[in-house]
Amino acid sequence: MKAAVCLALVTLLAACRADQVGPTTPPDVRTVVARADADAGPPSEYPFGPDTYRYSGPFAGAPVPPLVCDPARTGAAEYNGYLVSTVDGTSLDARVQLPAGAGPFPLVALIHGYAGSKSGSGDIAAMLLEDGFAVLRYSTRGFGDSWGQVNLADLNLEIADLRSMIGRVVDDPNCAINPAKVAITGASYGGGHSWLSLVQPQFTSPLGTNITIAAVAPIAPWTDLFYSLVPNGRENESINGFGGMKLSFVNGLYASGIRRNPDRPYPNYPDYFIAWHAWLNATEPSDVDPIWLQIRDGVAGYRSIYWQQQFWNNTVHNRVPVFQVQGYTDDLFPLPEAKRMLLAINSVAPGYPITSYFGDIGHPRASNKPEEMDYVLGLIRPWLRSILINNTVPASKIYAARTTRRSEPFSGDVLTVDDWSQLSSRTVSKNFDGPPRPLVNPATFAYSGATWDPFVMEGAEMLKPYAEAPPAPVIVPTSYASFYASPSDFGETTLLISGKPTVTIDGFVVGHRVQLDVRLIDESTPGSDYMITRGTYTLVTGRPGQRTHQKIEIPTYGNRWRVEAGHRIRLEISNVDAPYITPSREPSTTTITGVTLQLPLQ
Give DSSP secondary structure letters for 463-502.
Answer: T----SPPPPPP--GGGEEEEEE-GGGGT-SSEEEEE--E
Does residue 172 surpass a pLDDT of 60? Answer: yes
Residues 87 and 34 in one domain: no
In a domain, 240, yes or no: no
pLDDT value, residue 335? 98
CA dist 508 and 591 (Å) reads 5
156 in the same domain as 31: no
Same domain, 130 and 33: no
Return the closest-CA partner of residue 168 out of 180, 177, 181. 177
Residue 27 has pLDDT above 80, yes or no: no
pLDDT at 473: 80
Q: Is 14 inside any structural domain?
A: no
* 291 belongs to a structural domain: no
Lowest mean pLDDT among 122-136, 237-251, 462-476: 462-476
What mean pLDDT comes out for the span 545-566? 94
Instruction: State what percent of residues in the chain have pLDDT above 90.
Output: 81
Give yes or no: residues 88 and 210 share one domain.
Answer: yes
Cis peptide before 587 (omega within 30 of 0): no
Average pLDDT over residues 270-299: 97
Which pLDDT score, from 0 to 100, does residue 29 have?
A: 47
**Whole-angstrom distance, CA of residue 25 vs CA of residue 46:** 37
Asked if residue 13 has pLDDT above 50, the reply is no
Does pLDDT of 504 surpass 70?
yes
Q: Are 158 and 193 in contact (CB under 8 A)?
A: yes
Last residue of a domain, one of 169, 201, 219: 219
40 within some domain = yes
Last residue of a domain, one of 185, 219, 253: 219
Q: How far is CA 482 from the centre of its chain?
A: 28
Q: Are residues 34 and 117 in the same domain?
A: no
Using pLDDT thresholds of 50, 70 and 90, give the confidence band for residue 65: very high
Contact present, 162 and 87 (Cβ < 8 Å): no
Question: Nearest-CA neighbor of 241 among 594, 601, 584, 599?
Answer: 584
Average pLDDT over residues 89-114: 97
Summarize the confidence of residues 345-355 as an average pLDDT. 97
Three-point CA angle 448, 454, 456, nearest 5°: 105
User: What is the average per-residue pLDDT within 205-220?
Assistant: 98
- Do 24 and 73 lie in one domain? The reply is no
Q: Which residues is 323 bridged to in the sheet? A: 355
Q: Residue 503 has what pLDDT?
A: 98
Give 234-249 pLDDT, tens digit per residue. Answer: 999 999 999 999 998 9
Does 70 share its domain with 38? no
Task: Report in angstroms the alpha-carbon separations of 41 from 172, 256, 307, 340.
Answer: 41, 35, 12, 8
Q: Greater confidence, 252 or 148?
A: 148
User: Which segments of 336-449 are extended strands (E)?
Assistant: 354-359, 398-401, 414-417, 426-432, 437-440
Q: 2 pLDDT band (50/70/90 cuts)? A: very low
Q: Is residue 309 part of a domain?
A: no
Does residue 68 share a domain with residue 37? no
pLDDT category at 359 given cuts 50, 70, 90 is very high
Assess whether 148 and 123 both reside in one domain: yes
User: What band does 526 get if pLDDT is binned at 50, 70 and 90?
Assistant: confident
Of 221, 556, 377, the residue nearest 369 (C-alpha): 377
Alpha-helical segments (H) within 317-367: 336-348
Which pLDDT score is estimated for 478? 87
Residues in contact with 166: Cβ distance below 8 Å, sequence separation at least 6, in sequence order? 107, 109, 136, 182, 205, 211
pLDDT (0 to 100) of residue 24? 36
Band (pLDDT 50/70/90 cuts) for residue 475 is confident
Q: CB of 504 within 8 A of CB of 554?
A: yes
Q: Is residue 486 domain-shared with residue 590, that is, in the same domain?
A: yes
Q: Is residue 179 part of a domain?
A: yes
Residue 299 covered by a domain: no
Domain that holds residue 510: 20-44+425-601
Tell me the CA distances in angstroms from 431 to 361, 483, 562, 593, one per residue in order. 32, 10, 21, 11
Q: Give yes or no: residues 26 and 97 share one domain.
A: no
3-state secondary structure 101-134: CCCCEEEEEEECCCCCCCCCCHHHHHHHHHCCCE
As a whole number, the mean pLDDT across the chain is 90
Tell whether the model's pLDDT for residue 447 goes beyond 70.
Answer: no
Q: How many domains is the chain partitioned into structurally?
A: 2
* Average pLDDT estimate for 546-565: 95
pLDDT confidence of residue 449: 43
Which of 409-413, 455-459, 532-536 is least confident? 455-459
> Which residues, other chains included, contact 430 with Cβ-Cβ below 8 Å and sequence gap of 6+?
485, 489, 490, 596, 597
Q: Domain holding 577: CATH number?
A: 2.60.120.260
Position 459 scores a pLDDT of 66
CATH number at residue 208: 3.40.50.1820
Residues 34 and 99 in one domain: no
**CA–CA gap between residue 90 and residue 83 (Å, rounded):** 8
Supply the pLDDT for residue 184.
Answer: 98
Compute CA distances 115 → 48, 147, 151, 168, 524, whole Å: 28, 14, 12, 24, 39
Torsion angle in degrees (nearest 10) through CA of 97, 100, 103, 109: -20
Residue 97 lies in a domain: yes
Q: Is the pLDDT of residue 406 over 70?
A: yes
Judged against a pLDDT cut of 70, whether residue 445 lies above it is answered with no
pLDDT at residue 279 tops 80: yes
Peptide bond into 365 cis (omega under 30): yes
Q: Is the pTM of this model over 0.75?
A: yes
pLDDT grade, residue 39 (50/70/90)? low
Percent pLDDT > 70 in the chain is: 90
Q: Using 50, 70 and 90 to split pLDDT, how confident is the model at 454?
A: low
- In this prediction, residues 468-496 reach a mean pLDDT of 90
CB atoms within 10 A of CB 515: 28
Q: What is the pLDDT of residue 11?
A: 32
DSSP summary character for residue 24: P
What average pLDDT does this structure show over 518-541?
92
* Domain termination site, one of 219, 240, 268: 219
